[in-house]
């Protein structure tokens, strides 16, 4: 099967968030089975990693076999999902044809490193300093800005922005993606380049 009309054909392990490994006493690894399907938060519950079977989009650098990190709604409720094509009950994988664009966030390299794609940027949220001379404010309770971030890396299409800059964005435009990689919970924050208002610092 081939994807057309700028779609990307992908395979998804639907239970990818159900296995988790944590460190126990003495550093011993403990394997857990998490029933994520009962989590009311779709961002935490839904699969977000997929493997490209065929790329019919204009993003030619995305290749067959690449692992993509995408929006959590792409693979939700397969019985009524317009992107759904087929499901394999034996290995709990499904095939979808997803639209290319900003909701394809990153490519996950074999070593686990994240590379932003499709006009996205990986960013770091910044603390909003609380100015007071009366009490000490611990770092853990300081609020984060909702309109500025530090750029970590950018997709090939992003222009006028370089890693290391602090940029002003539309309020709440940054988005945290939660995923499991090699049985470890991870998260990364991304911003779409259309959400940039200006550059605050070089």
- Tens of pLDDT, residues 98-149: 999 999 999 999 999 999 999 999 999 998 876 666 666 666 556 889 999 9
Question: The domain that contains 54 carries what CATH number?
Answer: 2.30.33.40
* 77, part of any domain: yes
Domain tally, the chain: 1
Say how many CA atoms lie within 13 Å of 100 toward its Cβ: 20
> Which pTM value belongs to this model?
0.84
* 101, part of any domain: yes
* 119, part of any domain: yes
Q: Which domain holds residue 65?
A: 7-201
State how far the Cα of 81 lies from the Cα of 61, in Å rounded to an integer: 27
CB contact at 8 A, 185 and 177: no
CB contact at 8 A, 174 and 189: yes
The answer on pLDDT for 66 being more than 70 is yes
Provide the token pair at 148. 């500025």
How far lies 193's CA from each of 59, 125, 157, 164, in Å?
16, 16, 9, 15
The answer on pLDDT for 168 being more than 90 is yes
* 17, part of any domain: yes
Report the relative pairing of strands 144-154 and 166-169 from DSSP bridges. antiparallel
Provide the token pair at 16. 């990818």
CA torsion through residues 93, 99, 103, 108, sign:
positive
* 2, part of any domain: no
* 1, part of any domain: no
Provide the token pair at 42. 């779709």
């Amino acid at each position: 099967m081939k994807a057309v009309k700028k779609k990307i054909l992908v395979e998804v392990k639907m239970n990818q968030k159900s296995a988790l490994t944590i460190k126990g006493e003495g550093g011993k690894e403990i394997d857990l089975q998490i029933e994520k399907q009962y989590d009311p938060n779709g961002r935490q519950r839904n699969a977000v990693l997929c493997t490209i079977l065929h790329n019919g989009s204009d993003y030619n650098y995305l290749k067959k076999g690449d692992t993509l990190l995408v929006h959590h709604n792409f693979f939700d409720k397969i019985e009524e999902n317009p992107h759904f094509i087929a499901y394999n009950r034996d290995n709990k994988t499904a095939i979808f044809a997803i639209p290319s664009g900003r909701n394809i966030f990153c490519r996950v390299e074999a070593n686990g490193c994240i590379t932003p794609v499709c006009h996205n940027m990986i960013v770091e949220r910044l603390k909003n300093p609380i100015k007071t001379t009366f009490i000490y404010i611990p770092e853990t309770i300081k609020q984060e800005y909702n309109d500025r971030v530090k750029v970590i890396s950018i997709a090939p299409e992003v222009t006028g922005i370089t890693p290391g800059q602090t940029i002003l964005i539309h309020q709440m435009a940054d988005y945290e993606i939660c995923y499991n990689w090699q049985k470890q919970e991870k998260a990364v924050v991304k911003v779409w380049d259309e959400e940039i208002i200006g550059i605050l610092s070089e």
